[in-house]
Structure 1
């Protein structure tokens, strides 16, 4: 009885062992393929550069599907052509020079239809195109091509060529390559985002470099601009006290002032505002100051000076203009002859504290019209009387609710200034304006000039 069961039992055990062996081989293959996919996922995090990602993925995939060559072809959205992003094998460099039209060859067919294809005999498949083979001399026996899909859209194709050994490509190979293509789509998307970030960073670096260079040039331009203005105030031995200040809203601005002695008894002074801001305004300001100083001389009235300077400035039809007020102070008599071109109303602060607006005949700003004529006005400063010139950066300074400082506030301030020196008045006026604006950014240049007859 026992002997009767020995044969069947041994046969059963042999069958079980054979089944276990087959199952082990199957599981071992599954584990190996799973490990490949895991390795690919891990490698995606090792670099964000597209070419490096493709190389890593392909090298890992070829461990499971041993082939002679492999390539990644991507779709050019502008031309609808496939180009070789990656081509491994003996003819890789030559292959990368080739582009395939939409639907051309197996790769073009897969890109067009989004379906994987196994071709185990290229000679019998009508979809096969030998253009690559003719260009490179590479003989293709069989190939497996799968689409690289991203959100249902074909980004390109993954192709392996000439499986090593005698076995053909199988559905299992196709399934594995399709799974390899999935992280490739992720890699392409990540690489695209990385390229955008790199491009943005490069653009930012370029912009920053340009900004730094411009800031440096603006600082130099600001230094040059300030060099046109008088830096040394007159001594206390002079029969007058004159002081001026310019505070630009940007690195360089368009407001300007000047004062200089024509002779021992006459002092010329001017203050103006160019219509533009920045470098163009600074250049126009430099030209204007140069003409004012170059043309002014003994016996020339302020009105005659502005008429002459305007002819020079307006001749070439510049895109900017400048408001201005200027004058000549006679030290011995206190007489002041003044002329203006579209500028803010000056004020006289008498020694007794009385505030008087200086009403000059209005003319056009410099360079507004070539034929413009400028007129002279007259006033007299007694001992202790003061003349104040300013630009609209003072009266039009705004606070947070866009309320302007206004001429009325300026007059109220001037009522508090008797006994102050010219420098003290300018400092106090700027403080008064900045307290009014209460931290609101300065939107316009500010220039102030005061002249006191001692």
Structure 2
């Protein structure tokens, strides 16, 4: 019998071989395909075998017939096995395949035996065949090629099929063993690979997803998942899900203690559930949500630092009925890997967060240091704000930083900003419906993750609020905000938050301190300037006022000037002419500043210069002074003034007023008159018209100069002290000296104001005209003291500018009277200390000299008239003195009072 006719593989006349078609062969091929599909979980399979015509004939079933035809032809032509993944492109036809394929060449690579192609299409539960699948089927195909080649030498057809079936069964056993070895090798490699992944640079989610995909592949399950315990520890949520129902399952939460996952999380023990359909512990909501049937479950806890943080599961075996204990033991290694990955990531995140926090603190410290430098170097508020804006923009990663300073008095806001590195500086009126302005007015801090709604923003808001923003009012020591910091346009991902606000508050506190220091520095400089101005003003005023208060026998003078503020607007002046007359004035200058003080100095100098001209009357002095002061007056400054000339001899006063208060003449009988003058304040009009008046005062009268501050102080009910009260209080103290009257009056007014701040400058000057005998002195009754008595009278009367002839008559009369007292009055009297008392009185019209002694009584009628003849003959000596006094003086009076002789010598001035 021909052997070839009994073989499966037949050699042709051209030395080419082919596979002979036979029904028995088809059954064997179906068996081989079924076992191959079982080995790797393939969906479909087919043989492409060469026939006697040299064509590939298909045995089996595939879904994509045209594609599998192309693949088989390609494999047969190139004699190379091939693993194709889903989505690959067949270059020859530019076709994208929708399934994974394993295609193996059947025959010898040398070309001696070309039998065909063995092809598997698609894999259940996975996207692609694995490398292990490819190697197993390649092993399977290689051995199948050898078996088919050996059929050429078979002796009979029955022997061929029997031998082939036996060999295939042996091949299947070897393939199973090979598969198990490959599986163990694969599992070992996966465990090593997963362990290596932990130290890789993958992010946690990618790492866990890779581990769970590996678990799904290793344990040949339909799906796998990783669930984590939520922060509240009330439930488990799906963090990683593999398989077809990923989207539906990811939304489900499993309460702690419920279901297999919840039980494992509580018990911290792994579990195998191989009859999940009938196990009441299974959480059915997962199947219901995913329209899925859970047959068996492999579950293990994830433990980190003795705390369960989650669980992992493998669901539904593919190539076997149940999970085994060996699967569970191996599954725990995956749980450990996941736990280690999470722990490592947690540690790295903590380290990264710590480093980030540390870096932020370092950056913040650097920014604060830089801001501190800016505070030290800046000399103006604007300079500090510009530097601060740049520091804040860098630290906060903001494209817009604006510092806005409010001027509430002017209702203006000053904006100094940096926008995308460019500086802006302008002023804007208050806009009441602005979010920024309202934040300032109500001291409201705003941290917003979004921008403002369209139509709600004004110019400031549109310009400086872009997207997420922070508005931080700036205030000093809890006072009303003086401005605001506006931060927006964040350059990095995410909105501004509370941490950004805390950082901004830290930085802004330095800005506020620096701003306050600069402001205080400016205020200090201004204060020093003011103090210097006040010092200069005080010096000017000090030089304006008289350096001493004159004393005089005819009057008692007192004066007091107290400034309401640091600088007074009042001044006074006193001048004594060579002829013994006086000029007095009190003035009030508008304004209290340095310019007012200078104006006061000019005015005082002009008035003082003019008043030194004794020929000018008071109203003439004011008229000329007004013209000169008007030329120097600036910004409406002026002077009110009351001016008098006083003649102590005649006790006459000439006065004039330039818009000043009516001054007071208090008479000895306690009645009074208000002296008025006509004329505007000096410096108001270019040509003044002034009219005053004349009065004649008497001993015991008072002339009171004052400024309005002396009568306008108010009590707690806002009632003024008033002129009437002022006059009455002076009258009540008329018995005191002028200075005592003024001092008590000032204290009374201060007490009346009840501690309130002095309203206006206080200036009062009082002339108190003395009573009779303003000059008194006692001399020893000796001849050597007579010249001294004469000198005393001379000195007292000289200062009144008495005419020489009148003065000589008085001096000669006093000399005669004193001589008579010493030679005759005290003759033969044995007294211890005989003396002569001399008193002088001037009342404006006459001078009275009073001499008193304790000598013998002088009897005027016993003195005989003088006789020249009797003196020549020696009948009598003297007798001329009394008659000479009576001839020289207008009146000579003698009287005896209580054992005292009193001489009154009176001389009229005109």
TM over 0.5, yes or no?
Answer: yes
Question: Closer, same or farther in 2 for the Cα pair 1:343/1:83, shift >3 Å?
Answer: closer
What's 2:665 paired with?
A: 348
- 1:25-81 deviation line (CA, Å, top 9, x unaligned): 22223322443455467668857739689xxxxxxxxxxxxxxxx994532568884
Match of residue 311 from structure 1: 627
- 435-444 or 70-79, larger mean C-alpha shift: 70-79
2:421 maps to 1:83: yes
Aligned partner of 2:866 in structure 1 is: none
**Structure 1: distance between partners of 2:496 and 2:355:** 9
Structure 1 residue aligned with 2:583: 268
- Cα-to-partner distance string for 1:323-354 (whole Å, 9 max, x where unaligned): 111101101111111111111111122233x1
Name the CA shift for 1:151/1:306 in 2 (closer, same or farther; >3 Å): closer
Structure 2 CA distance for partners of 1:72 and 1:294, relative to 1, 3 Å: same
Give 2:730's aligned residue: 414
Over 3 Å counting, the alpha-carbon distance change for 1:71 and 1:371 in structure 2 is closer
Q: CA offset at residue 286 of structure 1?
A: 1.3
Identify the residue that residue 246 of structure 1 maps to in structure 2: 561
Cα shift at 1:253: 2.1
Over residues 244-297 of structure 1, what are the superposed CA-to-partner deviations in whole Å (9 max), with x where a residue is unaligned? 221111222221100010123201000011122232332222112111211122
Q: 2:519 aligns with which of 188, 200, 203?
A: 203
User: RMSD over aligned Cα, in angstroms?
Assistant: 3.5
State the shift of 1:84 in Å.
10
Structure 1 residue matching 2:645: 3-state secondary structure: strand
**Aligned-residue offset at 1:149:** 4.1
In structure 2, what is the Cα distance between the partners aligned to 1:317 and 1:230? 24
Could you tell me how far apart the structure 1 residues matched to 2:519 and 2:418 are?
28
Q: 1:379 to 1:84 in 2, by over 3 A?
A: closer
Deviations 1:206-235 (A, max 9, x none): 112211331133123213212211121223
What's 2:594 paired with?
Answer: 279
Q: Take 1:288 and 1:151, find their aligned partners in 2: how far apart are those partners? A: 60
Residue deviations 1:168-216 (CA, integer Å, cap 9, x gap): xxxxxxxxx7599873464245434542442233112211221133113
Q: Which residue of 1 aligns with 2:647?
A: 330
Change (3 A) 1:81 1:150: closer
- Secondary structure, aligned partner of 1:401: coil
Partner of residue 380, structure 1:
696
| Equivalent residue number for residue 73 of structure 2 | none
Task: Give the aligned partner of residue 221 of structure 1.
Answer: 537
Following superposition, the deviation at residue 13 of structure 1 comes to 4.0
Pair 1:6–1:347, CA change in 2 (3 A): closer
2: CA distance between counterparts of 1:32 and 1:269? 91
The separation in 1 between residues aligned to 2:531 and 2:725, in whole angstroms, is 35
Q: Distance in 1 between matches of 2:538 and 2:523?
A: 22
Alpha-carbon distance in 2 for matches of 1:50, 1:179: 26
Summarize the Cα distance change of 1:407–1:154 in structure 2 as closer, same or farther, 3 Å threshold: closer
State which of 390, 395, 399 in structure 2 corresponds to 1:74.
399
Name the counterpart of 2:678.
362
Q: How far apart are 1:83 and its partner, in Å?
A: 2.9
Partner of residue 368, structure 2: 49
The TM-score with structure 2 as length reference comes to: 0.36
Q: Unaligned 5+ residue runs, structure 2?
A: 1-323, 373-394, 403-415, 424-449, 452-465, 472-485, 771-910
Structure 1: distance between partners of 2:688 and 2:751: 39
Compared CA separation, residues 79 and 364, structure 1 to 2 (3 A) = closer
Are residue 19 (structure 1) and residue 342 (structure 2) matched?
Answer: no
Q: Which of 389, 406, 409 does residue 705 from structure 2 map onto? A: 389
Closer/same/farther in 2, CA of residues 368 and 158 from structure 1, 3 Å limit = closer
Would you say the 8 A contact 1:270–1:326 is kept in 2?
Answer: yes
Aligned equivalents of 1:411, 1:44: Cα separation in 2? 76
Is 1:427 paired with 2:751?
no
CA-to-aligned-CA distance 1:420-452 (integer Å, 9 cap, x gap): 111111101111211211111112111111112
| 1:399–1:219 Cα change, 3 Å | farther
Distance 1:314 1:43, change over 3 A: same
Q: Which residue of 2 aligns with 1:288?
A: 603
- Counting only pairs closer than 5 Å after superposition, residues 94-109 of structure 1 correspond to structure 2 as none
Question: Where does residue 137 of structure 1 map in the other structure?
Answer: none
- The match for 2:900 is none
Write the distance in 1 (CA, Å) between the matches of 2:603 and 2:367.
58
Please identify, of 270-279 and 191-200, the stretch whose mean Cα deviation from structure 2 is larger: 191-200
1:111-141 Cα distance to aligned partner (Å, 9 max, x none): xx99xxxxxxxxxxxxxxxxxxxxxxxxxxx
Instruction: Provide the rounded CA distance (Å) in 2 between the counterparts of 1:71 and 1:425.
Output: 73
Q: Corresponding residue for 1:187? A: 503
Asked if structure 1 preserves the Cα contact closer than 8 Å seen for 2:716 and 2:754, the reply is yes
Higher RCO, 1 vs 2 (CA within 8 Å, ≥6 residues apart): 1
SS of residue paired to 1:358? strand
Alpha-carbon distance in 1 for matches of 2:487, 2:659:
68
The match for 1:155 is 488
TM-aligned CA distance change 1:80 to 1:315, over 3 Å: closer
With 307-316 and 178-187 compared, the bigger mean Cα shift is at 178-187
- 1:401 pairs, out of 700, 717, 730, with 717
Q: Can you give the 5+ residue segments of structure 1 that lack an aligned partner in the other structure? A: 54-69, 86-112, 115-146, 160-176
Give yes or no for contact 1:148–1:181 (8 Å, CA) kept in 2. no
Look up the match of 1:28.
347
Separation of aligned partners in 2, 1:148 and 1:334: 90
Provide the rounded CA distance (Å) in 1 between the counterparts of 2:417 and 2:686: 59
